[in-house]
Amino acid sequence: MMAIPIAIVGVGKIARDQHLPTLAASNRWRLAGVVSRHADDLDVSAHPTLTALKAAVPELAAVSICTPPIGRTDVIREALELGLDVMVEKPPAATISEAERFASLARDAGRSLFLTWHSREASGVAPLSAWLNGRTINRVAIEWMEDVRVWHPGQEWIWEPGIGVFDPGINALSILTRLLGPVSMTGATLRFPANKASPIAASLAMEGGAGELVSAEFSFDQRGPQTWTMTLDTDGGQATLLDGGGRLEINGSPVDVPEGTEYGRLYDRFAELVGKGEIDADLAPFRLVTDAFLIGRREQVDAFSWSD
């Protein structure tokens, strides 16, 4: 099977940390170029626009979009008009109304589209989903605590309206909706730094379609150990995802999980979608974020500083 030639649009931290190493290790994909003005160190064709890259690399067949979420429609439309299949880093867009257009654009163009949620591919998620089959979930408690200074150093775009702590928090919501299906937001408190347009912390209350009660605590100001856990109390015992879903414990005992990486599985899934000409554009985690902003009570906290 020949590797599919793909380009990365936007060579920032997530592209360098995850996408580029994953593509380098893949036998299903071949990095054919990048769209970036800051990629002189990469041994690959680099151009300022996707159209220019496609002209230079005619065999280009797909694109993975890793730019910040604002303004994604123009990039996706350009890719589709060039006949490319499209994969999009989370969150898919700046607004729900924008993201909802992507599937129809891809369908009209006859191309595959994958709006990704990388945490759904964490090693412990599929085994947990299998264990939950036939069991009743009573309560879910989420703690997603990390330090923005570590994971997004100096990246001011993270404080654009609608992002903030929900950049990592949406990862937890993506796992939650993968496990529970439909989830409703019933209450939210959002804590905004005095000098920023998005929250640095959030407390959420949700309810699953079968009445499961869900609580979530998100923080972008976690000092010391970083924490990404989800604990599910069921009629058959307690399950806990740790390390963002990378580890799983059932009733306190570790469970074997598959080898491989989140992004490796994402790109395998994208290859399957391309092979079948299909679209995967689930927006359930994104809808929960917008619901949190709609019903959330706003609290102001101390101003944020990158140097604290």
Which of the residues are catalytic?
90
- In whole angstroms, give the CA distance from residue 299 to residue 176: 25
Could you give the strand order of the β-sheet that contains 113-115, starting from the edge strand earlier in sequence?
46-47, 29-35, 4-9, 62-65, 85-88, 113-115, 279-280
Q: In what order do the strands lie in the sheet with 137-145?
A: 253-254, 247-250, 237-242, 227-234, 137-145, 213-219, 201-208, 183-193, 297-301
Q: Look up residue 131 and give its two tokens.
A: 């264990």
Rounded distance between C-alpha atoms, residue 131 and residue 247, angstroms: 14
Other C-beta atoms lying within 10 Å of the C-beta of residue 191 = 22
Strand 201-208 vs strand 213-219: parallel, antiparallel, or unpaired?
Answer: antiparallel
* CB-based contact 268:28 (threshold 8 Å): yes
User: E strand or H helix at 101, and its extent?
Assistant: helix 96-109
Q: Which two tokens stand for residue 145?
A: 């605590």
Whose CA is closest to 59, among 23, 83, 28?
A: 83
Residue that the structure tokens 């929250």 belong to = 199
DSSP per-residue codes, 28-54: SEEEEEEE-SS-TTSSS-EESSHHHHH
Q: Determine the Cα–Cα distance for residues 227 and 143; give it in Å rounded to an integer.
A: 7
Structure tokens at 270: 């994208």
CA separation for the pair 83, 49 (Å, rounded): 15
Residues 6+ apart with CB under 8 A from 126: 258
Q: Tokens 């129809």 sit at which residue?
A: 104
